[in-house]
Amino acid sequence: MRLPEFIRQHVDRIVDEWEQFASTITPAAEHMDKVALRDHAKAILLAAARDMTTAQTTCEQMAKAKGEGPEKTPSLDEAGASHGELRHTVGFDLVQMTSEFRHLRACVIRLWVDTLESPDLTYFQDMIRFNEAVDEALAESTAAYADQVNHSRDIFLAILGHDLRAPLQAVSMSTEMLMRKVALEGDALACANNIKRGARHMAVMVSDLLELVRSRLGKSLPIEPAPMDLADAADAAIAQACAGNPECDPTLKVVGDTQGVWDAGRIAQLLQNLIGNALQHGLNKRDVTVTVSGEPQAVRLTVHNFGVPIPEEAIGTVFDPLVRSADEGLGQPTTSLGLGLFIVKEVVNAHGGTIEVSSNKTDGTLFTVVLPRNG
């Protein structure tokens, strides 16, 4: 009997073995009923049988083996994806879920081979096609499972970031109130200032974390554009940076008309991150230059510093979230989440602008942002 027909005739028996194996995956399976244990096993098997009876050329088979073939069995993909999502929901880990497919493959081949009396070449072809179908279902299950893991993690991070804002605000406001009502001196004043700076830094990290989660959940960065002057925003950002780093003294250069329509809060985020990055990685905190220059249809912003250059292999990922290759390359300790430049890129994208970076030992590191005036 050919394998597709064998699967159709014995599908319930095969699913029984699937159920028995799934029931051994604890602790997730301990509270699952028969329906949950069997899940999409029957749909996957029947879809695999249909796929095996579909005509396939040698070229198509080679492409499919590489994961490059056209989608021929949407029902198989759908069943596999649904299985991955549900197994994640009930608490299977990725290794446990993939072990079900390994067992399914072995079970079907074992039961089928036991029924064969005189195998011929077509039977081996059936086995190849069956393995391809199982691999396709496994790939869809794994992708869907991974998507669910990522979504769950992002939801957790969103809740964490949201819930951290209230206690941080309480710490910040209490410190401000204490410093206004009590004349602190010496070590007490130093401690209060440390608390204030620490709370401010944590608030920035929480804000960056929420921006990351928003983007990963498929939501673009919201902006509220209004007329503003980029040079004034840069001046304010430098003043804020110097308040936390008294030894710094960045140079601001302004050329031409620097007015446009942008979101002032987001532009402040962009400037704070770029200037903070330059101060952190520059060899001399006084040797940072911020230039704002007006062009006919846009305003160009550059932030320059000298120091250990960003490694060439890291340039392509410097704007990726949770990447801190620049910090690691300098050997400097940092409490950053590695989200600063990612937020900068998101702000630039939200305004329809562009950002580029160049870095070498001779010329230093230069970030260049171009924002359309009506971004």
For residue 70, how many other CB atoms are within 10 A of its CB? 7
Whether residues 109 and 137 share a domain: the answer is yes
Domain total of the chain: 3
- 78, 50 Cβ separation under 8 angstroms: no
| Span 289-333, pLDDT tens digits | 999 999 999 999 999 999 888 888 888 888 876 555 444 443 444
Least confident of 202-206, 243-247, 270-274, 284-288: 243-247
Domain-embedded: residue 120:
yes
- 277, 364 Cβ separation under 8 angstroms: no
Whether residues 173 and 78 share a domain: the answer is no
Which amino acid type is present at position 307?
G
CATH of the domain at 276: 3.30.565.10
CATH of the domain at 91: 1.10.490
List b or e across 256-269, with b for residues whose CB sees 16 or more CB atoms inside 10 angstroms. eebebebbbebbbb
- 177/187 Cα distance (integer angstroms): 18
pLDDT score for 334: 44
Least confident of 76-80, 156-160, 312-316, 323-327: 323-327
Note every long-range contact of 297-300, with CB atoms under 8 Å and residues 24 or more positions apart, other chains counting: 297/372, 297/373, 298/260, 298/353, 298/370, 298/371, 298/372, 298/373, 299/230, 299/257, 299/258, 299/259, 299/260, 299/370, 299/371, 299/373, 300/368, 300/369, 300/370
Higher pLDDT, 50 or 337: 50
Which of 33, 1, 6, 9 lies closest to 19 in space, CA to CA?
33
- 73/319 Cα distance (integer angstroms): 38
| CB within 8 Å of 197: residues ≥ 6 apart | 244
User: Which residue range(s) make up the domain with 350?
Assistant: 226-372
pLDDT score for 146: 82
Whether residues 62 and 28 share a domain: the answer is yes
Whether residues 141 and 195 share a domain: the answer is no
Domain-embedded: residue 221:
no
pLDDT score for 375: 64
Least confident of 34-38, 163-167, 183-187, 280-284: 163-167
Decide if pLDDT at 91 tops 70: yes
Domain stops at, among 170, 191, 216 = 216
pLDDT score for 219: 59
pLDDT score for 319: 85
173 burial class (0-12, 13-18, 19+ CB within 10 angstroms)? exposed
pLDDT score for 60: 67
pLDDT score for 353: 96
Whether residues 93 and 143 share a domain: the answer is yes
Domain-embedded: residue 128:
yes
Higher pLDDT, 213 or 141: 141
pTM summary value: 0.52
Whether residues 166 and 275 share a domain: the answer is no
Whether residues 144 and 162 share a domain: the answer is no
Q: Which phi and psi angles does 258 have, rounded to 5°?
A: -115, 25
Decide if pLDDT at 76 tops 90: no
pLDDT score for 155: 65
pLDDT score for 364: 92
Domain-embedded: residue 17:
yes
Whether residues 247 and 358 share a domain: the answer is yes
Domain-embedded: residue 240:
yes
Least confident of 17-31, 52-66, 181-195, 264-278: 52-66
Domain-embedded: residue 206:
yes
| CB within 8 Å of 18: residues ≥ 6 apart | 37, 38, 41, 100, 103, 104, 107
Decide if pLDDT at 116 tops 50: yes
Whether residues 335 and 206 share a domain: the answer is no
Domain stops at, among 110, 136, 153 = 153
pLDDT score for 332: 43
Whether residues 139 and 49 share a domain: the answer is yes
Whether residues 181 and 207 share a domain: the answer is yes
For the segment 220-241, the average pLDDT, to the nearest whole number, is 89
pLDDT score for 333: 40
| Span 217-226, pLDDT tens digits | 665 677 889 9
Cα–chain center distance at 164: 21
Domain-embedded: residue 346:
yes
Whether residues 290 and 344 share a domain: the answer is yes
Domain stops at, among 198, 216, 234 = 216
